[in-house]
Amino acid sequence: MSAQTLHSMDPSVVDREVLATGGPFGLAGRRTVVTGAAMGIGRGIAEMFRQAGADVLLSDLDGTALAAAAAALPDGPGRVATVQCDISADDAGEALAAACVEQFGGIDILVNNAGIYPQVPVLQMTPELLDHVYRVNLRGLVLASKAAAARMVAQGTGGRVINIASIDSLRPSMVGLAAYDASKGGVLMFTRSLALELAPHNITVNAVAPGGITTEGSQRPLEGSGMTPEQQEEVMRTFAARVPLGRMGTPSDIAGATVFLASSAAAYVTGSVIVVDGGALLT
């Protein structure tokens, strides 16, 4: 198969038969919360979890987009519910865990995907912006993980916590994302620390580090960057040109890695990060 053929393949194609029939990657009956699920990576994760048989509780700050995302989920054996939630709120984690228990009778998987990435150089950064990025990207993730893990420990049947980090956890990608990069670096270290703590309870904790992913958010000028849509498009083209696999990623690329970490195939994987970037960190 030629490189040209590989690059032209539809990246959203997954093995539907493997997902539908269960096997090592099936998630039938697994009660799941996905944060930031109204669009982009979160929506792609919710879609593939549904196809894999999971019960999926979609959470997002945008209630209208959340309802639309839930209505558009592909058919699957699992149940679907939604809860509008501001992950930066002090009680968000407890509210999410309680909603999953109320809807599905328990919680087996938490996917911490919600995040923001305003682009502001450090010398122009306000304390308010820094605090907001940390409350959403790290603090909210920590408290959601705490609440979900407490329920999983009480259930006594193990579980999965999967954090969506970033290749910026490992290397800065551009000027202006210092707050985002620092928060995602924190996500990576928290993943490892929590994995160690929860291992005796058969709860695995892992992270997925996406590279450049084409989403609704990435197609808009970055907040605070001052770039026009045309300039933003040029930045994305330049980034894609440096990716060894020759394209930007899609939400389904991240969803596939997330399904793996949630499945029985990854039962002996914890405290790890899977980089899904088309080889961008190699360049």
Tokens coding 243: 């990716």
Query: What b/e sequence results for 122-133 when a residue is b if at least 16 CB atoms lie within 10 Å of its CB, and e otherwise?
Result: eeebeeebbeeb
Is there a catalytic annotation at residue 117? no
Quickly tell me which residue has 């699992």 as its tokens: 78
CA distances from 243 to 164, 174, 283 (A): 20, 15, 8
Strands, DSSP E only, in 122-272? 159-164, 203-210
Tokens coding 213: 């992913």
CB atoms closer than 10 angstroms to residue 201: 16
> SS3 for 204?
strand
CB 96 within 8 A of CB 150: no
Instruction: Give the residue numbers marked as catalytic.
Output: 180
